[in-house]
Structure 1
Amino acid sequence: MSDHLMCCRIVSCLMIMWLISDSGAASCPEPPPVDNSIFIAKEAEGQLWGTYLCTKGYHLVGPDSFWCNDSKEWDASTPECRLGHCPGPVLANGESNSSGPVNVREKVTFKCDDHYILKGSNWSECLGDHTWEPPLPICKSRDCDPPGYPEHGYFDGGAFTSGSVVTYFCKERYHLVGQRELRCLDGEWSGQVPACERNPEAPTPAGQIAFEKALHAFQERKDLCSATKSFLKRLEESGLTVDELKSSLEMKKAELKAKIVQHHS
């Protein structure tokens, strides 16, 4: 520290602290006085750098760091240290009951403009560390963003305003899994985008006939054990493969699902 020159001056309630080691850097003019602040300056990379720090109970409005340029002038406008521990909160598409800085433990309330909905708390308190608790809210549009498209599917409906509905459909050889309709409610869709799953491959005509006959034989018997034996016997006689049986069952399942969805939509 012996190579450094340190001096402190009080100017209009401004404390200026210089940490410089070069008389050339010292030729920069004194920074403009800012009430209720401390200005600290030091030499770095051959230039003079400075910053304002507000005293307790005040917050900085404007730039906080400056360079003394080659013209020996400070490169930024003079900030202010304003009374109040937290800067006045800004709520886009809304407003608060505060018009300026807020002191510690003071509370501010919020409301949104028409066609916007408040996401978060409608009040917040200024804390001693210059933060807000609960966190500041946002005002979100009541309209929705465009919904997503399912792979191999599409939706019908071009309006995404609050209350509007979109209806989903699948391309040929695919069936819908999930909600067919989604409604925009206060900026959020009422559910997840559905999926379009591929229909199972149809069994060969011979396999389909064999399956139908075996199923008919099963339905003719009232006793479950006897019906099961008859069903398995018919399958064995027909030579129906396991894959064909599985495909037939999947087809029946897909048809049943489609009927249920159609009934509820």
Structure 2
Amino acid sequence: MNGQWSNPLPVCRVVNCSDPGFVENAIRHPQQRFPESFNYRTSVMYHCKRAFYLLGSSLLTCQSNGLWDRSLPKCLSISCGDPGTPPQAVMSGRKFTNGGVLHYTCSQGRVLIGNATRYCQEDGRWSGSPPYCSGGSSGECGDPGIPPHGSRLGERFQLKSLLRFTCDAGFSLSGSPERTCLHNGSWSGTQPVCEAVSCGNPGTPAYGKIVFSDGILFSSSVAYACWEGYKTSGLTTRHCTTNGTWTGSAPDCTGMVLSGDFSM
């Protein structure tokens, strides 16, 4: 016994998380890459660029164990969906995501009424309204068609004929719910469109990740899994419902983690 301590004093070091990385088609704040930027309780935020939507958590926080609390999100391209082809019309163009262009022409000598060209916009909507083709004889309006995911009451296209449109559950009507055949051979109002209800970003649980998603619109599904070393409590699959909400809630991931794969 020499009256001295057996070991030197311990050293307390700042906990750092590794660089979480950048997400394709997203902007990260902050953007610096040096490791000392990401110490305990530091957060980074991701914002998707225009024409992309966020799937997952936009905010990641460095934990006391040197790991980020969530997996990286994804920025997915916004889709306008297939608008369908009007009766007696021909549609060219098959790109339905941002920047897609569609061209319409009519067959059998009919005249196109409405927009001959439509563009998929950044908000997931097609520019203009769907066109239709003129009637085959005087005093007749052309068949305006039935919007995808919708239904129509009325099959007569003569002068003063009335058509009524409705949408299926999970879709909302944009345009005119009623249209009348006018003296000039055109329909009153604008072509109706049935737009899928959006449930929005379902989010990502802490210490979990999204392992499957086919979108955020009605009838879409999302599936979760916890990181290795964590256990799941709650539902691991959620569905987008007709009222624009996700079923259930994201699962809780609890437990101790020592190592694992934290990639999406």
Relative to the length of structure 2, the TM-score reads: 0.26
Relative to the length of structure 1, the TM-score reads: 0.26
The structure in which a higher percent of residues are helix is 1
Structure with higher RCO (Cα < 8 A, 6+ apart): 2
Rg larger in structure: 1
